[in-house]
Amino acid sequence: MDGRHVIRTKAFTLIELLVVVAILALLTGILLPSVSRAKRLAKITKAHAELRGITMAIEMYRQVNHDHIPPTRFSCSSRTAYDLPVELTPFLPSGRRDNLDVIAMPDPFVRDQTYRYRAVGPGILNESTLLANASTLWIPDGFGGEEEADTGRYHSDPRTSPVLYAVWSMGPAPASALFDIPGRLPLPQKYWLKSGCEAGVIVHYQDASRQLHMSP
C-alpha cells in the first residue's frame, strides 16, 4: 500500500435507473395536461381581451364616421371572408396591415387568419364593390334567452336586426363538426365555447340597443 486512499463512487443500478425513469414519466403525464390547459386558457383570455379591443375600435370608428360602422368584407379569391375591416387600422394597437392588406391581428387559434367580423348591412365584395344590405347575420329565434331555438333567419337590415355586428375567434377547434352550418356563425349559442367543451367560438357582439355582450 502506498498510503493513497481510493475514492469509490457508487453507480446507479439498472433497477434504480428504471425507477427514476418511471417517476419522470409519471410526473410528465401529470404535468403535461396542466400545462396544456394553462396554454389553452391563456389563448382564451387573450382572445377575449383583443376582441374587446376590437369592439372599442369599432365604437371609435363610429364616432368619427357619422355613426356608421365598417362594412363586412367578402371575397371570391383564396382569402377567407369576414376579415377584420382595414378601416379599423388607425384605432387598433397593432395599427398594421400584412401583405394581403388585412389587419395584422391573428386569431390565436388560427394563426394565418385574423379575427372574424360580420355586421348587418353594407358589404364589400372583392375589395371593390360596395353592396347595400349584402351582409347578413343569422340570428336564432329566442336569441339571448334561455330557450334559444334551432330555427331563425338571416337579418340584413340594421334597423330591424336584434344584433348589429359580431367579432369572434374560431376557438381551439376551428375545423370542428360542431360548426355544422358555418354560414350561421357566430351567434347561435350552440356554437359558443363553454366550460368543459373542446370546441366553440369566442364571440363579442353588439345588440340593437348598442349594448355589448360576449360568450362565456
Q: Where are the domains of the chain?
A: 45-214
Kindly list the distances between the CA atom of residue 201 and the CA atoms of 19, 109, 120, in Å, as whole numbers in the listed order. 44, 10, 19
Residue with cell 367579432: 167
Element spanning 97, H or E: none
Residue 108's pLDDT is: 94
Kindly list the distances between the CA atom of residue 35 and the CA atoms of 44, 65, 156, in Å, as whole numbers in the listed order. 14, 45, 43
Which residues neighbour 16 within 8 Å (Cβ) at sequence distance 6 or greater? Answer: none
Residue 95's pLDDT is: 65
Q: State the greatest distance between any 2 C-alpha atoms of the chain, in Å, as a whole number.
A: 104
**Side-chain half-sphere of 189: how many Cα atoms within 13 Å?**
15
Q: What is the pLDDT of residues 120-153, one digit of tens each?
A: 999 988 777 888 888 999 999 999 888 899 999 9
Residues 161 and 187 sit within 8 Å (Cβ to Cβ):
no
Confidence of residue 170 (pLDDT cuts 50, 70, 90): very high
**Single pTM value for the model:** 0.82
User: Is the pLDDT assigned to residue 18 strictly greater than 70?
Assistant: yes
Average pLDDT for 105-121: 91
Q: What is the pLDDT of residues 41-78, one digit of tens each?
A: 999 999 999 999 999 999 999 999 999 999 998 876 65
Kindly list the distances between the CA atom of residue 92 and the CA atoms of 12, 50, 51, 123, in Å, as whole numbers in the listed order. 59, 9, 11, 21
Which residues neighbour 211 within 8 Å (Cβ) at sequence distance 6 or greater? Answer: none
Residue 111's pLDDT is: 82
For the chain, the average pLDDT equals: 86
Identify which of 98, 130, 122 has the alpha carbon closest to the alpha carbon of residue 111: 98
> How does strand 72-74 pair with strand 129-135?
unpaired
Could you tell me the three cell numbers for 94?
397593432
Residues 115 and 168 sit within 8 Å (Cβ to Cβ):
yes
Determine the Cα–Cα distance for residues 4 and 88; give it in Å rounded to an integer: 81
User: Is the pLDDT assigned to residue 7 strictly greater than 70?
Assistant: no
User: Is the pLDDT assigned to residue 98 strictly greater than 80?
Assistant: no
In the chain, what percentage of residues exceed pLDDT 70? 84
Element spanning 132, H or E: strand 129-135
Average pLDDT for 19-31: 72
Average pLDDT for 158-168: 96
Average pLDDT for 152-163: 95
